[in-house]
Amino acid sequence: MITTGLERLLAAPESLKGRRVALVANQTSLTREFEYSWHALPERGIPLRRIFTPEHGLFAIEQDQVAVGFEPETGTETVSLYGSTADSLVPEKEMLCDLDLIVFDIQDVGSRYYTYVNTLALLMEAVSGMGIEIMVLDRPNPLGGTAVEGPMLDMAFRSFVGVFPVPVRHGLTAGELAHLWRDYRKLDVELSVVAMEGWRRSMLFDETGLAWVPPSPNMPGAATAMVYPGMCLFEGLNVSEGRGTTTPFELSGAPFVHPEALAAECASAGLPGIAFRPAWFRPGFHKFAGEAVGAVALQVTDPRRFRPFATGVAMTAALHRLYPDKLRFLRGVYEFNDTVPAFDLLAGSAAVRTAIETGVPTAEIIGSWRADEAAFAAEKQAFHLYGS
């Protein structure tokens, strides 16, 4: 049985007595008995000065890129770290000066894009040199801790969906990423990680015995997290990533898509562990709301062989080949950036988009980041807190 960092801390809360504590949390910050951390800590004699919440809010009620405008009453001051400007992504100094400890406890999904660990990284930068300890209560990487996939982030493309210098699928936990970030940025931060007990790097989320609580509105299950490292790329296309349906990211399409043709073209890439099912859907909101959308549904047949980022790139290339006059790489404001296409921010550089637009064969594009994967797979071992 896995014991999370939160449960280990609650078993010995004396270490926090007398500390001036803030908590970074959302609805995933739960014990195995479904007790929220912001209740459990005060009940064990650890009062909280305030709660900081990430994108989507404490109970994940806001959609993507929507400023958090409502937080329910918790009995503790609650401060959103996702507003309408980039400045809102870190607390104002007066929100930090009365603290000596910030506890981070949120379930991550194992992809560079997912913004909760990026909030952690920005917090570490904000408190560097202030004498404030950052404590990470660790939780599993739902995609496991061994597989690495995708190109490294070109730091010239740093954004709120790309902070860590890691591949898209990094195979690290939040606590391990925090150690990497402190080392990479040479931050003057006292960092502690309350590690899990019982988690092994080979574990996928379904093997942990933990209940899945949606960390964000469009992450309803661990199956969504499995496809997310590839299908989040579609946020940068004029193609729906399935928001507005009950299976976001597992469905994708557009009114101009012919499902049978797209499914066949995607299958021609010969990718392992995945089948492409022709489908239709009618999203209730977001792109093409209310329209009938021709689509492909992803059916993961072997999660250990499945390569989600390669799949997302192959699907984008298939769309470009079939619909070159209709497919668009979106431009405009995306996660507070209005100068770089969203697809490039997500991919970590312009290289993938450029290769697709110029007709580079899909196998060659996928092979272009193998050196990055091999280098990072070796580098990340220095930050491992768990065995295989």
Q: What is the pLDDT of residues 353-365, one digit of tens each?
A: 999 999 999 999 9
Residue 1's pLDDT is 86
Predicted confidence at residue 373, as pLDDT, reads: 98
Residue 171 Ramachandran class (φ > 0 left, ψ -120 to 50 alpha, else beta): left
**What's the confidence (pLDDT) of residue 203?**
98
DSSP code at position 209: -
How far is Cα 5 from Cα 124, in angstroms, rounded to an integer?
Answer: 19
Boundaries of every domain in the chain? 5-215+379-383, 222-357
Other Cβ atoms closer than 10 A to 92: 11
**For the chain, how long is the longest CA-to-CA vector?**
64
pLDDT, position 66:
93
Q: Which residues of the chain have pLDDT under 50?
A: none
Residue 304 Rama label (left phi>0; alpha psi -120 to 50; beta):
alpha
| pLDDT of amino acid 114 | 97
- Topology (CATH) of 222-357: Aspartate Aminotransferase, domain 1 (3.90.1150)
For the 5-215+379-383 domain, the top CATH level (class) is alpha beta
- The residue type found at 8 is R
Q: Do 125 and 96 touch, CB atoms closer than 8 A?
A: no
From residue 98, alpha-carbon distances to 46, 105, 130 in Å are 15, 20, 11
Instruction: Evaluate whether 336 touches 88 at the Cβ level (below 8 Å).
Output: no
Residue 287 token pair: 């792109």
* Predicted TM-score (pTM) above 0.75: yes
